[in-house]
Chains A and B, each alone.
Chain A
Amino acid sequence: MSYSEKVLDHYHNPRNVGSFDNKNEDVGTGMVGAPACGDVMKLQIKVGKGGIIEDARFKTYGCGSAIASSSLVTEWIKGRTLDEALQIKNSEIAEELALPPVKIHCSVLAEDAIKAAIADYKAKRDKAQDGENDTAEAPVCLPEKTTV
């Protein structure tokens, strides 16, 4: 399989690798995929004032395209508001990285990871604002136990 220049670049020099402490209230964590399927992405966002994503980190178990997709979205979501970040579509990721059809699911996973991280952040925030009010949106594709 041949990879695009951009996939190779992100694979060899992944951006924003690492983890934030999930106990911090300004951190949202999304973990999507499954080891049995060959891909797991963990995406974390640090949200500042005005709902702007100040920083992002990722760790990915998966093929080169999965690593590149998650590395790319950490760059894209930084500086965006939560709503803006939610607008990112998997097709944009796939196009930017020139992913072949068999690797489209990597971009889908990256989009899901953004949504899951934002949902997790919002759930934490709502809980902090009103402990009684349990209207928080269920995290998408989040494993039952969050670990970090």
Chain B
Amino acid sequence: MDEIFDDIERWFAAGEKVAIARVVDIEGSGPRDPGAAMAVNARGEVAGSVSGGCVEGAVVGEAIELLEGRKKAGITSFGYSDDEAFAVGLTCGGTIHLFIEELDW
């Protein structure tokens, strides 16, 4: 988490809103452990990561929706199965559960 504070500070100093996504649970094999965090501003700039690059794109979309008030804070899960071969998922076959919220606390 340490590595994302500098970017968050910069965004706050510029008066921007920031969303934060954190891995809270993983099932099967997942690239990052609970606690891995990624911050996103309303312009879609990113700091940190929550997977090996598999779901970050989708998380940016969710984070922007949240910052625009079109979505509430909550758990979002990403997994992979054969019938969703083109959906967003983890190539390693695991499922990750993220908690995405605005950093307003």
Say if A and B assemble together: no
- Residues of B in contact with A (beta carbons under 8 Å apart): none
